Amino acid sequence: MTDITIWLDEYHKGSRFGLNGKLLIRKSSKYQEIIVIENDYYGKALMLDGCWMTSLKDEKYYHECLVHPALSSIEEKSNVLIIGGGDGGTARECLKYSKIAKIDLVEIDEEVIKVSKNFLQEIGGEAWNDKRLKIYINDGVKWVEKTRDNFYDVIFIDCSDPKGFSNLLFSDSFYKECKRILTPKGILATQSESPESFRNIHISILKNLKKIFRASETMYSFVPIYPSGIWSWTFASKEKLYLSKPNSKDSLEIEKECEIWNLNFQNAAFKMMPNKIVKELNS
Ligand code: SPD
């Protein structure tokens, strides 16, 4: 821990998205530079290789949106895979469901988990001590390749933006492998970048998932510290999905434990696709 106060910016297409705060740790792992600072408003915030990942103030906008549309809508959810998710926020949200028997969390960078446990304990919280959570330090792409067919009920891809080692997590071949290891009614849930600041990759994720799976649906909401603030999550399945008309018995109980997500929020968020994206997908 240091007494140094700095401005830390994510640079994106000639813009800067920055927080001012006390530098808690800055280190380089085998894969990336890891920084945690503490800002007066957003609280502690994690940056990986120049890219904001999460902050205590806004992490629920991200993690609740990634997890609950999938888990609240699927009956069988005993066996879950998280790829990435080293800060523990996705696992924490999953563990709200008593039907979950096991979560395999596959994170490539052990240092992200160590830093999160030491400096961002509020995010993972008790999830780190839950016996249902199994942690594997491994490459998510290789993990999926070696998994047998029809194995996971839900797969969450909780990754960084597509650059370097995370590039493959946005590829056709990876999505096809995810489809192979999902149960027949299983759901793939991935963060699908911003329709504004990452428009091309956003469109390409949506087109690829639509091509590979029988059904895919996208929701939009906000993650204030990410470039442009507007963000998206996409859900895909071999069976039809009804995420824009959510209705589940689990939901009412889970809603009580959420800060952002509820059925009304989900209902609206799946209808928020900007028209320019609609047009581009239809073109
Ligand atoms: N531009 C940032 C995209 C990062 C998405 N993953 C965040 C990880 C939070 N668990």
> Rounded to 5 degrees, what angle do the CA atoms 36, 40, 41 make?
100
Query: What predicted TM-score, i.e. pTM, was given to this entire model?
Result: 0.97
- Residue of 38, 65, 66, 274 whose CA lies nearest to 155: 66
pLDDT digit string, tens, across residues 165-198 = 899 999 999 999 999 999 999 999 999 999 999 9
pLDDT digit string, tens, across residues 74-107 = 999 999 999 999 999 999 999 999 999 999 999 9
- Give residues with Cβ within 8 angstroms of 162, minimum separation 6: 169, 170, 193, 201
160 lines ligand 1 (CB under 6 A): yes
Question: Which atom of ligand 1 lies at the shortest distance from residue 10's CA?
Answer: 1
Alpha carbon distance 187, 156 (integer Å): 9
Q: Which H helix or E strand runs over 104? A: strand 102-107
109 lines ligand 1 (CB under 6 A): no
Alpha carbon distance 160, 140 (integer Å): 13
161 lines ligand 1 (CB under 6 A): yes
Structure letter (DSSP) for residue 239:
S
pLDDT digit string, tens, across residues 23-66 = 999 999 999 999 999 999 999 999 999 999 999 999 999 999 99
Structure tokens at 91: 């696992």
Check if 250 is active-site: no
The Cβ of residue 260 has, within 10 Å, a number of other Cβ atoms equal to 17
Q: What are phi and psi of 185, to 5 degrees?
A: -100, 5
